[in-house]
Amino acid sequence: MIGYASNTGTKRNLAALREMGWRLLLTPDNPTPREGFRFGIDNGAFSQRGFRAAPFNALVEHLGSAADFVVLPDIVAGGSDSLALSVSWIPKLRGLKLLLPIQDAMMAREVGMVLRQNVQVGLFLGGSTEFKLREIYAWGMVAAAWNRYYHVGRVNTMRRIRLCAEAGADSFDGTSATRFCCTLTKLESARRQPSLLVPRNFDF
C-alpha cells in the first residue's frame, strides 16, 4: 500500500518521507514537485473549500502526464452533483490515470455505470469522515469487483491506515506525515504491516 503525504518544501520532512518511500500529493495551491518524489494530483476542492478550474487545469497541463493519478474535480459531500461534475471532466482528461471521487450518498450502481464506460478510471474515497469510515470496506469491494485502483483520502492515524489495508486500498494520503514528522515512523509501521483481509492487489 502506497502512502502519499501532502506536499511540503521542508527539507527535514522531505528527507524523512524519501527515506520511508512515501510519495507526495500535489494540489493547485501547492503544485511544486520535489526532487526524487513520485506524486499524485488532487483537484484541491477540499483544501480550497471548493473546486477552482483554472489552477487545476494549469497543474494538470504542466504535470498531469507525469502523475501517478489525477483526482477528478468534485464537490465535497456533494452526492449526485459531485458525480455529474466528475464525469463531465473525464473527456477533458482522457489519457491520464484518473480517480473518481466517491462522496456521501453516492450509490455503487451509478458509480458502476461510470466505471463500465471508462476503463481507465479508479476510485478515490472522499466525503465526510463519518461516511468514509462507514463505507470504506464497501467501496473497497466495488473497486475489487471492477479491478480498479482504490485510494482513500485524509488518512492520518495508524488505525485508519489499517482500515485502508483491510479494505484493499492501493494507496492513501494524509497531512500528518508532513505536518508532524515525528509521527511518520508509526504511520510507516502501520503502512507496512501486512493484512490478510485485502480483497485484491492492483499494480499501479
Domains in the chain: ranges and CATH: 2-192 (3.20.20.70)
pLDDT at residue 146 above 90?
yes
Q: 20 near 178, Cβ under 8 Å?
A: no
List the beta strands (DSSP E) in the chain: 2-6, 23-26, 39-41, 70-71, 98-102, 121-125, 150-152, 171-174
User: Is the whole-model pTM more than 0.75?
Assistant: yes
What's the pLDDT tens digit per position in 101-142? 999 999 999 999 999 999 999 999 999 999 999 999 999 999
Q: What is the pLDDT of residue 202?
A: 47
Enclosing H/E stretch for 16 = helix 11-20
